[in-house]
Structure formats: C-alpha cells, structure tokens
Structure 1
Amino acid sequence: MAKCFSFAETRNRCFRFSFSRAGLKSATTDLGDGTVMHCWVPKTYKPSKPNLLLLHGVGANAMWQWNEFISPFIARFNVYVPDLLFFGDSYTTRPERTEQFQAQCVAGVLKAHGVRKTNVVGISYGGFVAYSLAAQFPEMVEKLVLCCAGVCMEDKDMEDGMFPVKSVDEAVSFLFPQTPEKVKEMLKVVFYKPAVNMPSCFMQDFIDVMCTEYLQERTELVDALHKDRKMSNLPKINQPTLIIWGEYDKVFPLALGHRLKRFPFYAFPLLRFALVFLLSSEA
C-alpha cells in the first residue's frame, strides 16, 4: 500500500515555503549538453547589496542544508543557493564527476542570472566546489569561506586511518545510507549529539526521499573527490579566504583544516556556531 504521509516530503514543502517567504524563487537553468541546474535566486535583485553563493554538502540538498540561515543571510546579501549536480533538481547526462566540473556548472548558472562577482560559502563537499570555483574563476569569486571542507586531503589519508572509514565504498554507505541501521551509523558520525532514537519508519522515509535517487552518480562524485588526490596538486588561490571548522567533525577531521596554513582558521564546538560567527562578521 502506498504511503499516505512522508515526513521528508513534508519538510521539503516547508523548506520551499520558507525559501519563498524569505525572498527567493526557484529557477532552473539548462546549461546544454544534457546538464540542468536548479538554483534558488533573489525574487528582487538589489544592486546595493553584495552577492552571496551558498554551496551545500553531500548529505543534503540546498534547502535542507541552508534553511536555518537563509533569512539572516538575505538581510545582507543577494543570495544564490544552487542544488549541486545529482542533488535536488540538478543533473547531467555528461560523464564528468569532479568538483571542477561542478564549479564550471555553478559558474554557468551564475552567469545566466547576470552574476559577475560573488562571495562564496561552501560546506563540506560544497567547500571543494567553492575552492575550485575560486581557482578556475578568480574574477568571479571575491571572498571565500570554507566550512569543514577537507580540500587539502590526500588519497592516502583514508588508508592511514584519518577518517572513520577505510574505503570509498564505506564512505558512500554512510553518506548515502540505504537502511535505518546505516542512518543511525551516519548520524553518529555526522552529528556531535545525534538523535539515534528516531523511529525506523522516519529513517526509512528519509532514505526513500533523500538517499535513493542518483545513488550511482553520487558514488562517483565521492570517488572522484578521493581518487589520486594530492595536496601538492591543490591550486593556489589569492582571494581573501576564511576557514571555519566544527571542533568535533568526524567526516573531515579538524587536522585537515590545520593544513591550510595560509588562511585564517577558526574552530567551533558546533558548525552552527561557526555560521553564527560568519553572520556576525564581514563576509
């Protein structure tokens, strides 16, 4: 019998309403060659405000990642919040899976909306895309904030025991869980104080709505992030850059943040505190 209620879909509807009420509208851009990206953009662009691009991580789409902070950010910026490829309503039929390709697509969306310069905040995987955007399009990115983004990781770090998993397959199994048991494991890794007592039916609903679509493609994104990665190959960027980290982050351990010695670095007990700090400072 079909489900008559979905907690995750209900949250999606609430988030859409929240984004719209805050002053954003849903927009889809066809970039050609089978690539389509969805992005939340300002209903009314205000030239007096700077632009801000928010890039989500792999554990959520744009709405789930940024809903809590949309209203305060919009008070200061013209905000753009895309779904990265294979999340939300963004996809491609092209074979590329690198963060470089994601960054090129994000740049294409911004240009389609007339954005020539922007500040960028990227969380986790979104930080990899943000860094690549700054490296490939230096004239577009004014300032950069990386939140818990291990851009300086190397492929050997996983084998050396830096992460809670030993292989890409293990990483995929908890980043995109397919059973309630795996959701519990994911919550223990991703959250400092996880709600592991959530009913299994809610966990299964979350899996059905958020973790089953584009599973193979998302697996390839994680693999591309890790494969043959060397810190020595990380391009240098010259934009003012701030690094903020969750003190207890297990997905990308704090030690990775300390490798980025060129940039100001702040660690917080919870990532939420880091974003509050970001809101209280000049982005």
Structure 2
Amino acid sequence: MAATFLSRLPNVVHIQERLLRLWYMRHGLRLLDVQVDDETSVACWAPRHYADSLARSQSLKRNAAGPRNPDPDYRRASSAGRPKQPLLMLHGFGASAIWQWTNQVAAFSRDFDVLLPDLIFFGGSSSRSDQRSEFFQAGAMLRLLDRLGISECSLVGLSYGGFVAYRMACLEPGRVQRLVLAASGLMTSAEEHAAVLREWQVAHIAELLLPDHPAGVQRLMSLAYAQDAPSLPAWVLRSTFEALFDNQEEKRDMLDEVLKYLAQTGLNETGLDETDLPAASVDGGGLDGQRPAGDGKHEQSGMPPLQELNPYNIPVPEMETLLVWGSCDAIFPLSVAHRMHSHFGPVSSLAVLEGATHALNIHRPKPFNDAVMSFLRDGNNAEVDSNS
C-alpha cells in the first residue's frame, strides 16, 4: 500500500529541477539544444544572446567556414565594466550540468558568459555515435563552440569534465585562454586506483560513480560530502536514481575509456612519482626552459614530442593551468594533484581546499569559486589561499 502511494507522488527530483531551471534563467541563461553534427546534439545552458546568434546562424547561409564571435552588441559588460569572455564549464560523472553547477552559476555569470553543457549521454545531450572516449567528448564540445560562434574561451573541467577539457586544450590550444582542472586525476597510478577500489570495496569504479540501484545514490552522496553527507529517505533515493542515472551502458563504456587512457600514461608501468621526474621534463622543455627540438608537427603547436616530455605520456598544456583539489578527495588523492603540478611545471598552479572532498565545488563552493575566479582573472599570478 505504501509503495503504491509513493509511486503516485510527483518525482521530487523533477520538481527540484524545475526550480533549478528558474535559478539558471534568473542569471541570464537559457537552455539551448545545439546540433553539433549529424549524429550528436548538445544541451547547453548559455546566455540569451548566444541563442539569438545561433538562431541567426541557422537561418542565414554562412559565407565563411570556421568559428566567429557573436555580434558585440549582444555581449554584456562584466561587473568590472569589461566585455564578458566565454567560460565553458564541464561537469563530472553523476548528474547533468544543471545539478552540478548550482553553486557556481551566480558567482561566475557576473563576470563571464557562462556556458554549461551536458556532456554527451548526460541530461539532454545525445549521440548515435558509437564513440565513448574523452576525445569524442572533446570534439563535440569544440563543435559546440563553433556552432555558438566562439573562437576562444577559458575552460573549467570537474573530475571527468577535466579529462575532456584537457583533451580540448591539447587538440586546439589556440582556442583555450586559461584551463582549470578540478579533481581531474589525469596522472592517477594503477596503485592509487587500486587503493580506491579497496577502500570502497568495489570491483570497478563504475560501482561508485555510476549507481545501478537506488542505494548506490547514497554511497555517491557519501563520496561527495564525506561525513557531511545527508541521509536520504529511500523514496528520495529511488526518485533520484530514476531521474538522473540513465544511459548506464554508454557511461560505463566512458569510464572504461578513461581506464584505458590511464593505462597508456606510463604510470602503470613506471610507478614513478614527482620526485623521480628528470629536471628537463619539469617545464616540458630543457634545463633552460626552452622547448626541445622536435619533429616539426609538435613544434608548430608549441608542444614537444611525447617521448621527450618525460616517462609520462602526457603533454604539458600550453596555457596557464590551475589545478584545484580537495585535501580529502577519495577518488583522486592529493598525491595525483602534486604529481600533475610537478609534471606541468611553471604553466601550472595548485590550490588545495582543506577538508574538501572529490565534489569540491559542491562541498566547499565558496573557496572553490574564489580560487577559480582569482585564477581566471589574474592567471598564475593570483594569490590563492590553499588552506581555504
């Protein structure tokens, strides 16, 4: 009887999502459905003027190929009186963009044209493609920028979204002004990954990040909030699971692609840490900071050949990069952040948020927002309080 009664109640998650839509719209965003190619469409929260620009581009024949900026008349000024620059923010595993950036939309929309897409197979984004890698996701996001007429922007990637943002920065570095990788374990070793599985008593990372039953949602909450995780009633867990955790097969394939990537970095074979890096690899160049001679192809993009970087097969970003991490991250431990910071060298800075978990933008929103905003404004010269 109780189960029958509860099944007739409106889904609390759908009600909450309607409220979130109003919150995003209050800050000048509209939900766009952008067809980025014949197989793939991307749902993206974006300022209204991008919707107007997209409508015009769809109704007028383009005379020239390539990205273009929206008309200046459509761009509003930031709180500092400067034109707003585009900021693409890519969410991690779990729910779609609207659920993951709730604590950021107000802070960042004051100074940036905030773009919040659903990654493919999340929320309203879909594809008929059989591709599942972060390269595929990165290509879709780059085509989204093309369709919106954005030639360059800054990127913020959270967890899996950071893998995608990093790939975008490597594929088209000239389009990325500044890069933020938040809790994105690009250099996680096999030992570190195995330790996480043992700690949570799971055989595959999907059991943590991709619940296949309502009880798994509570475990995901514990992962995000640690001891601060609220204990949710069973009917709320069921509503959350039914509303937010679809496309299970596609998402598990995406996680498998991440594991394949980590297996190719060299970390599984060498077991090296940052103290083992040769001095010439710290800044991606020689001891004097100059890039080593390359094969032409990499020199043209400003990136040295992979084999000349160091034992890790991970290119160093060309743009200023912020690594922001929670000291209590239970998925990608802080040692991964220090390893990435050492490998990336002078182009990078590291902000550690004390007490923050893997979902640091949700768990500690103010210090997260402050650290990222300072970096986007001042680059690596920003004064970041690592003990926020």
C-alpha deviation, 1:93, in angstroms = 1.3
Taking a change above 3 Å as real, the CA distance of residues 172 and 3 of structure 1, as seen in their structure-2 partners, is farther
CA distance in 2, matches of 1:83, 1:200: 27
1:274 corresponds to 2:309? no
Shift of 1:255: 1.1
- Return the match for 1:11 from 16, 36, 56: 16
- Taking the TM superposition and a 5 Å limit, the aligned residue runs for 1:179-198 are 179-198=213-232
Q: 4+ residue runs of structure 1 moved beyond 6 angstroms? A: none
- The AA in structure 2 aligned to 1:201 is W
d(CA) in 1 for partners of 2:29 and 2:313? 37
User: Greater strand percent: which structure?
Assistant: 1
1:42 counterpart residue number: 47
**More relative contact order, 1 or 2 (CA 8 Å, 6+ apart):** 1
Pairing partner for 1:87 from 122, 129, 144: 122
Note if contact 1:60-1:210 (Cα within 8 Å) is conserved in structure 2: yes
| Residue-by-residue CA offset, 1:124-164 (whole Å, 9 max, x unaligned) | 111111111100011111100111110112455423x2554
Matched, 1:206 2:253: no
Once the two structures are aligned, what percentage of the paired residues are identical? Answer: 29
Question: What is the TM-score when the length of structure 2 is the normalising length?
Answer: 0.68
Deviates more, 1:78-87 or 1:224-233: 224-233
Quote the Cα distance in structure 1 between the aligned partners of 2:128 and 2:218.
Answer: 32
Q: Is the 8 A contact 2:97 2:117 kept in 1?
A: yes
Corresponding pairs, count: 280
Distance 2:192 2:238 in 1: 32
Q: Secondary structure at the match of 2:352?
A: strand
Q: Return the match for 2:335 from 251, 255, 264.
A: 255
The match for 2:143 is 108
TM-superposed CA distance for 1:206, in Å, is 0.5
Q: Deviations over 1:192-245 (max 9, x none)?
A: 33434211110111000011x100000001010011331522222110001110
1:177 to 211, 224, 248: 211
**8 Å Cα contact 1:155/1:226 also seen in 2:** no
**Could you list the runs of 5+ residues in structure 2 that have no partner in the other structure?**
50-73, 77-82, 267-311, 378-388
Q: Where do 1:206-225 residues align within 5 Å?
A: 206-211=240-245, 213-225=246-258
Give the alignment of 1:143-162 within 5 angstroms. 143-155=178-190, 157-159=192-194, 161-162=195-196
Equivalent residue number for residue 21 of structure 1: 26
Task: Write out per-residue CA displacement over residues 70-105 of structure 1, whole angstroms, 9 at most, x where no aligned residue.
Answer: 112111011111100010111111111111110110
Distance change (3 Å), C-alpha of 1:230 and 1:156: farther
Say if 1:153 and 1:229, in contact at 8 Å, map to a contact too. no
Q: Residues 245 and 267 of structure 1 are in contact (CA less than 8 Å); yes or no, is this contact kept in structure 2? A: yes
TM-score for the superposition, normalised by structure 1: 0.92
Deviates more, 1:63-72 or 1:108-117: 63-72
Query: How far apart are the structure 1 equivalents of 2:22 and 2:230?
Result: 28
- Which structure: greater helix fraction? 2
Q: Which residue of 2 aligns with 1:51?
A: 86
Unaligned runs of 5+ in 1: none
Q: Which moved more, 1:172-181 or 1:114-123?
A: 172-181
